[in-house]
Structure 1
């Protein structure tokens, strides 16, 4: 009989060639050999030799430098980056209402239209009297003679100016076209008429019952000034202009210029004090 050969290999090497129970289980379940100790659920991960840095000092960051979220100039973060934030509502609500066609003005525009119609109609009436002689008027020649007898120095120029101011200004007022200048023209004309009648007799003349009374002229001058300051409204050809619905500083300028034009015209063409007979101007 032959003797069994003696196993001279290292027992530890023999043990290393024998697969462990975990490796056998992995082979039986996956059908493949274990290629890495991490493939086996029973194996332990290798221990890290150094702890993971967790603080700014360990990471090498400067604690004085603010992060992106802490910077005051940084844009705000949103939960959903794909959805931009809603835009702020416009503060100019009046402009927004006008753009949307909102016309919450009640009867204001209709009232301004009636005011322009009445005031402009009165001036058209007197302008046609002076230009054509209609409505028992003097006509252009009679107007010139009337200005001459009333103490006006340049009778023809004075007659032309008063006729254009009354007729042209009245038509433009009714149409609501170039309204501030139209109202300024009729205001200057009626102020000169007011000063002329007031200066005919010493003392303050106001009652309409007397020929020199300035009651009607005072009302017409006041309404013309009101139209300058309020604008013609939306029932006008100036409805798309700023002075139609939003008059501001320009209206005061036109009002002052109209008064200055009336005083300068009366002083140059009549040569007198427009305030004669009133209080301290007696």
Structure 2
């Protein structure tokens, strides 16, 4: 017969342990043994810690339950902006309202387009139809040939397109950067042609070769390109109508380059002849 193993005495119902048995302090020390039953009717000893300070816990350190919580940690960056009072407009709405309050700007741009475009249409009809005591088609072609333009027919066609077509589109406010660029190129070539007839700067309008009117029209066309046609135009839905940017500046440079290239190819020579160091 084999000896039966000695049984370890277990705790009694009242929680008392035999003197020979080792006291179990936690289930991790002896997980196979039964924990003593605590009698809740007995008073608690005074040395049992009850607060975080007595336990030596740091109140700023989150507990395991807080770390395992599904709720996101509080972040100061996630604080939403204070809501506006009922009936109070937002800052974005106030900014849009300020942008919409353009005053008489659109009316002024419309009058500028009307005057500049009508002036070009008037001169174009003089050259094309002979209205308003104009030279007509044949007279314009002969005038271009006598003025030193090598390809007088091409020069005359471009002149009609720029003055009549560009002027009409400018009045309507349609394709405004291109329309204003066309009339600007035409008037710059006219400025260079009249300026090169006589040596020296020919600005006075009292002389036949004066370029005072051409200078004003060129400046007005450049202004329309850089400011846009405004909301009183067929381009009112386009970005360049009220908020022109780099594209309008590029259209201005393209018009100047087109005028210089056309003058050099169709007339020949420097378009700045007679101006300052180009005398």
Tell me the TM-score normalized by structure 1: 0.71
Structure with larger Rg: 1
Matches of 1:234 and 1:212 in 2, distance apart? Answer: 38
2:274 counterpart residue number: 277
Aligned partner of 1:189 among 186, 190, 193: 186
Matches of 1:198 and 1:92 in 2, distance apart? Answer: 52
Q: How far 1:135 sits from its partner (Å)?
A: 1.4
Q: 1:152 to 1:107 in 2, by over 3 A?
A: same
Query: Pairwise mapping of residues 199-210 of structure 1 onto structure 2 (< 5 A)?
Result: 199-210=196-207
Matches of 1:90 and 1:265 in 2, distance apart? Answer: 53
2:96 counterpart residue number: 96
Matches of 2:77 and 2:129 in 1, distance apart? Answer: 78
Q: 1:223 to 1:94 in 2, by over 3 A?
A: farther
1:74 counterpart residue number: 74
- Tell whether 2:109 aligns with 1:120: no
Query: Pairwise mapping of residues 129-140 of structure 1 onto structure 2 (< 5 A)?
Result: 129-140=126-137
1:157 counterpart residue number: 154
2:48 counterpart residue number: 50
Tell me the TM-score normalized by structure 2: 0.72
Q: How far 1:265 sits from its partner (Å)?
A: 0.5
For residues 15-69 of structure 1, give each alpha carbon's deviation from its aligned partner in whole angstroms, at most 9, with x where no partner exists. xxxxxxxxxxxxxxxxxxxxxxx9xxxxx9843673224149655999599x88x
In structure 1, stretches of 5+ residues that fail to align are 1-37, 39-43, 79-83
Bigger drift between 52-61 and 247-256 goes to: 52-61
Cα contact 2:128–2:160 (8 A) shared by 1: yes
Q: How far 1:241 sits from its partner (Å)?
A: 1.4
1:28 counterpart residue number: none
Equivalent residue of 2:52, what SS? coil
For residues 85-105 of structure 1, give each alpha carbon's deviation from its aligned partner in whole angstroms, at most 9, with x where no partner exists. 64699765676327xxx6311
Q: 1:50 to 1:103 in 2, by over 3 A?
A: same
Equivalent residue of 1:144, what SS? helix
Matches of 1:138 and 1:56 in 2, distance apart? Answer: 110
RMSD: 3.4
1:248 counterpart residue number: 245
